[in-house]
Chains A and B, each alone.
With several copies, the nearest count.
Chain A
Amino acid sequence: MSYKVKLDIFHGPLDLLLHLISKNEIDIYDIPVSIITEQYLEYLELMRSLNLDIAGEFLVMASTLMYIKSKMLLPPSEEADEEEEDPRADLVERLLEYKKFKEGAVWLNGQDILGQNTFARSALILDLEAKADERDKEETLSLENISVIELFEAFRTVFSKASQHKSMEISFSKLSVAERIQEVLEILKEKNNVEFDDFFIKPYDRSFVIITFVALLELIRLSMIKVYQSMPFGKILIMLRDVETEQ
C-alpha cells in the first residue's frame, strides 16, 4: 500500500489519554489502567490499519502504560512500607500538568485576539499572513473546532459498523484515495455542510470506509476543508474552506 498519511496533526499521546479519560468519565486520580491501556492500544491499531505514521512518542507511552499495568498486577510486597508509591503517580502528574496548559491554551484562544474581530493599524496582522509560507501551511491546520481525536472516534464508530464479511485485506484497487478526494470535493461543492457520517453511506465496506477517511484526513492536512463540532462528542460537520460564508 503506497498511500501514507503523515499524521503530524496529532497532539500526542497525552492528548489521547486525556481524551480517553474524559470519554470514559474516569477519575484522573484513579485511572483504571487496564481499560485505558486497552483503548489506547486499540487506537494505535486503528492508526496502523489506516497506514498512518505513528510517532515514536505514542509507542513509548504504550510501553509506559503496559509497564504500569504490570506493576499494578503485582501483589503489594509485604516488606515495603505502606506508602509505596502508586505506579500511576508519575503519569497522573504529567496528565494534570498538561491539562493545566491545555486550559491555558483555551483561555488564550478565547481572548479578543487581534485580527479576529478587532484590528489595529499595525503591520502585525499583515506580517503574520505574509509569512504564511509552505511550512506554515503544514502546521496551521483547519481543525478550529474539533480535535483530530474526535474525528478518529467518529471513524471508529463507522468502521466498526462497516460490513465485516470482507477480510481485513484491504484492496485499494477499486477506488483510489485521490479519486475519493475528488468525489468528496464534489459533494462538498454541492452542499454546504455535510455530516461526517454521510460520507460513509452506500457500499459501506471497510476498504471504502478507510479510503474515505484517509481522503478526509488528507483534505484537512491540505487545509481544504473545515471540520466543525457543535458540542463535545456531538455531530461532526464538514465544509469546504473557500465557500465559507460569514455569519
Chain B
Amino acid sequence: MNDVELKGLLEAMLLLSHKPLTIDNIIKIIDKDKATVKEAINELIVAYSDDERGFYIEEVAGGYQFRTRERYSFWLKKFEGLRPPRLSRAALETLAIIAYKQPVIRAEIEDVRGVDAGGVLRHLTGKKLIKVLGRKDVPGRPLVYGTTKEFLELFNLKDISSLPTLRDSVDEPEMGQ
C-alpha cells in the first residue's frame, strides 16, 4: 500500500468510525508503523483544514474524528431535529399521555399504561423530551412531569394546544408492523 492509498484508507476508516479512531486501532488493521500512519494523518488533517469544507479532522480523546464545522451549525442543528426520532412504542405512548395530561405524576401514567414507567421516564428525560415541573402537594410529594420545547420541536408543534383532539376511535385496523 502506497502513501496515497494509506490516506484513502484512513479517510474511509474515519468515515466509518463512530468513535475517535486511534493510531492503535489503525495499526491493528494495516501493517504500517506508527510514524508512517501519524504522518499520513497529519497530511490528511491539512487536506481537510480548508475552512470551507463541511468537516475537518479533530484530534480528540486520544484519536481522530471527522467533525462538522462550527460555521454550519446553525443549519445542522435544524437538520438533526429532522432526524426521525427513534422512540419505542412505550416511549411514544408515555409521551402522548404526558402531553395530554400534563402536569402529570408517574402513578397516573402507570395507571393508563398499566406498566411501570420508571425506565421510560428516565429515557425521555434524558432525551429532553419531558422535564420535571415540580412536585405535587400530596403525600409522598411525587414528581410532576410535562413536555419540553424540544418535544414541540421534534413533533413540529407550535405549542401544546396544537395537539390534535383525541378521538375515542377503535375501528382502525391494527397494523402488523
Contacts and interface: CB of A to CB of B under 8 A. Distances in A.
A143 B67 contact: no
A120 B119 contact: no
A246 B77 contact: yes
Interface stretch (A78-86, A100-108, A208-216): A100-108
B112 A97 contact: yes
Interface residues of B, number: 66
A72 B4 CA distance: 69
A92 to B, nearest CB: 9
A68 to B, nearest CB: 15
Contacts of A105: 89, 92-93, 95-96
Contacts of A120: 65-68, 153
A22 interface: yes
A44 B8 CA distance: 54
Place the interface of chain A in its size category. 35 or more
B105 interface: no
A144 B111 CA distance: 24
Interface string B136-164: 00000000000000100111110000011
B123 A136 contact: yes
B115 A11 contact: yes
B170 A96 contact: yes
Interface stretch (A13-21, A33-41, A164-172, A178-186): A13-21
Contacts of B120: 139
A114 B174 contact: no
Interface in A84-130: 94, 96-109, 111-129
B15 A121 contact: yes
B111 to A, nearest CB: 8
Interface in A8-34: 8, 10-15, 18-19, 21-22, 28-29
Contact of B85 (A14, A21, A97, A125): A125
B100 interface: yes
Interface in B64-108: 65-70, 73-74, 76-77, 81-93, 95-97, 99-100
B46 interface: no
Given A111-B157, A120-B67, A101 B81 contact: no
Contacts of B111: 94
Interface of B: 12, 15-19, 58, 65-70, 73-74, 76-77, 81-93, 95-97, 99-100, 111-116, 119-120, 122-123, 126-128, 150, 153-157, 163-164, 166-170, 173-177
5 closest pairs, A vs B, by CB?
Answer: A232-B176, A104-B96, A22-B174, A12-B115, A117-B73
